[in-house]
A and B are shown apart, each in its own frame.
Chain A
Amino acid sequence: MELLDKLTILADAAKYDVACTSCGVSRKEVKGQLGNTMNAGICHSFSADGRCVTLLKVLYTNVCSYDCSYCINRRSNDVPRTTFSPRELAELVIGFYRRNYIEGLFLSSAVLKNPDYTTERMCEALRLLREEYGFRGYIHAKGVPGTSDELLVRLGVLADRVSLNIELPSEESLRLLAPEKSKASTLGPMAFVRDGIKANYQDKQLSTVRRTRFVPAGQSTQMIVGATPESDYQILRLSASLYRTMELRRVFFSAYIPVNSDPLLPTGTEAPLLREHRLYQADWLMRFYEFDVGEIIDEDEPFLDPLIDPKCNWALRHIDQFPVEINRVPYEMLLRVPGIGVKGAKRIVMARRHHSLRFEDLKRLNITLKRAQYFITCNGAYPEGVVFDPLSIYTLLAGETKKRRAKGVLDGQLQLLA
């Protein structure tokens, strides 16, 4: 088979994995070797679906011995199957990297024979790339649930980031749709990787320049949203606990897209992209805005409001804390004002040291007032022509959302203030 066909098959089979980041680790260049990594990562292109392309995302093989209902590569699907040779893959990565197409490699795989055999093959491909080709760019490797500890160590030393996919938000759904996988087979290796990363910092002998570090960019995971009946509440609770107990860098959500027809799966539905978007907004609030999961969502209303973003939702539920005075409010509270982001909050704190800010000053600081205007005062004054009333604020903000998304918005979610 031609390399072009192989690449098409193995990229097509890998595209449903959402994680595509090259961030979290700075590795300096070394004379005579190709590549380095930057902490912030770089997106090199954006595909027609608007997702960033930063790594060459491919499977090592799509020959699979598992039969997960949601997966395009399940063994009962009649699709063309193929496998890279380690050298082919390495040549491809180097060729792309030299042309500034990519930051590195994202290597996943279907389960060839068994998890250990698969991981061994992946390690061999990565070893070739790192040792023989001297490649110092970014590598994200997928851990296959059920892999032994020894192989995880080898994988983690070669890669920058390792991720094990939770796949579905509950044990029950996993049993139903991915019978060969279980919560334990994912969480076990995940905990092992976590402990390995911790050891990086504790082992004093490693603190030399030439140390080999284990998974320096941390680990991540992903789960499919909308294939099974779990609520946003369950999903966010789960991701919050993964951040806490597993010390993950990222939890990715992937809106379920039907690729197989199976009586166990929902049919004919559109991919729940808005729901995925709201989940990511909530995830951002937890990671960068110091929100606790309990502040974003609770059991009584287990789904996020599609019409307004979770931060607006929180602000409207805590309307007694608003409006805040932009010239005096502490940074932590500034972060909680809808429409003000981390950069904007920092700019405000910086600028107000010099003189007090008026609304026109905020515009000069590039603060968008569309949402923020309802929740702030400048020198004690509320903006002209704006009414401070939760219900009308909700209606206005929800109207904006509706305008932006002429379709795809659910009805009957107005119970917030009704």
Chain B
Amino acid sequence: MDNCNSLLDDAELVYLYDGTLEGMLAAVFTAFARHEDPANIVEAGDLQESMLCSYVPVTTELRYATRVKNGITEKLGERCYEDIKKVFLSDDAQKGGVLYRYIRYSLKAGRWSFTHLAEPEVADFVELRARVEKEAHCMLQFVRFAQLENGVFFSRIAPRASVVPLITDHFARRLNVQPFIIYDSVHGLASVFDTERWWLADARTLTVPKNSSVEDEYQALWQCFYDTVAIEERKNPTCQRNFMPKRFWGNMCEHIPPELRRKQPGTATPTAVARLGAARQKLLEEGYTP
């Protein structure tokens, strides 16, 4: 180990890889080949070095990655490989170590290792997988499209895992007559659908055309519907935030505060809700009984 930059002899071993799935699998292969036990595998780019770790860069050899992939699909099944790809999309700083330990454990324990939920290697993996799946589901719920002037529907998201590849299929099937772009501003990734097929595009920077002329109208209608359906007597903000954490609100048009909305609803006439309230109040004051 020539690249030892730690001050301690028993420092934790950390592999550095290039951020690709192949790089990750090649790093796992390297650990097997060298009989080493890395505590974590992290992307070389976004590294905050710790003095307690020694860092070893691993080169991405495609043939090594392929051997690990084939080993997994043959011994553990396609499904297991799909799960590994899913966990790879996580933003968790520990994902490299979790993946490595799960692969090592499973190759030893065999096809049914995914049921060994109480084993730490499996429990950590299952938890990360669940978090990625949860994030993907939240996107199915909270993605908001806006129609651009060129007719394409555009959505900006900021998820905690790079879930665009997991969610695009859902929207492509559902909205199949409608071209759209889903842009993940955190991971710099976009998916593009042209009503025939969809593909991923690297998108560090993006210039978005203006909204179409009807867009403000629909957003105003939706905001007005959203505000109206809440029942005052049942107000429960904690419950609301549990189901729909505030970190998603920034990209959802119904959460734009009224003063910042582009089209103000009901400015010409008092809103129906106010009228209902006034009518009821008047009746009560008059001592109304049916």
Chain A interface residues toward B at CB < 8 A: 2-5, 7-9, 11-12, 15-16, 28-29, 31-36, 42-53, 56-57, 67, 69, 72, 74, 76-80, 92, 95-96, 98-101, 255, 257, 259-263, 270-271, 273, 347, 350-351, 353-355, 357, 361, 364-366
Contacts and interface: CB of A to CB of B under 8 A. Distances in A.
12 contacts: A2-B269, A11-B229, A12-B273, A34-B174, A77-B279, A79-B279, A98-B178, A101-B222, A255-B234, A270-B233, A355-B118, A361-B118
B236 A99 contact: no
A12 B228 contact: yes
Given A47-B240, A99-B153, A364 B218 contact: no
Contacts of B234: 49-51, 255, 257, 271, 273
B83 to A, nearest CB: 15
A165 B228 CA distance: 22
Interface stretch (B35-43, B71-79, B136-144, B197-205): B136-144
Contacts of B108: none
Interface residues of B, number: 68
Interface in B263-290: 265-266, 268-269, 271-273, 275-276, 279-280, 282-284, 288-290
Contacts of B173: 28-29, 36
Contacts of B117: 347, 350-351, 364-365
A352 to B, nearest CB: 8
Contact of B115 (A74, A98, A261, A350): A350
B226 interface: yes
A5 B243 contact: no
Nearest to B252: A45
A29 B176 contact: yes
A12 B236 contact: no
B6 interface: no
B140 A42 contact: yes
Ranked 9 nearest A-B pairs via Cβ: A50-B239, A48-B230, A361-B118, A49-B234, A50-B236, A47-B230, A351-B117, A9-B272, A8-B272
B177 interface: yes
Interface of B: 115-120, 123, 127, 140-147, 153, 155, 171, 173-178, 214, 218, 220-222, 224-226, 228-240, 242-244, 252, 254, 265-266, 268-269, 271-273, 275-276, 279-280, 282-284, 288-290
Contacts of A36: 173-174
Nearest to B118: A361
Contacts of A353: 115
Listed residue (B117, B232, B238, B271) with the most chain A CB atoms within 10 angstroms of its CB = B117
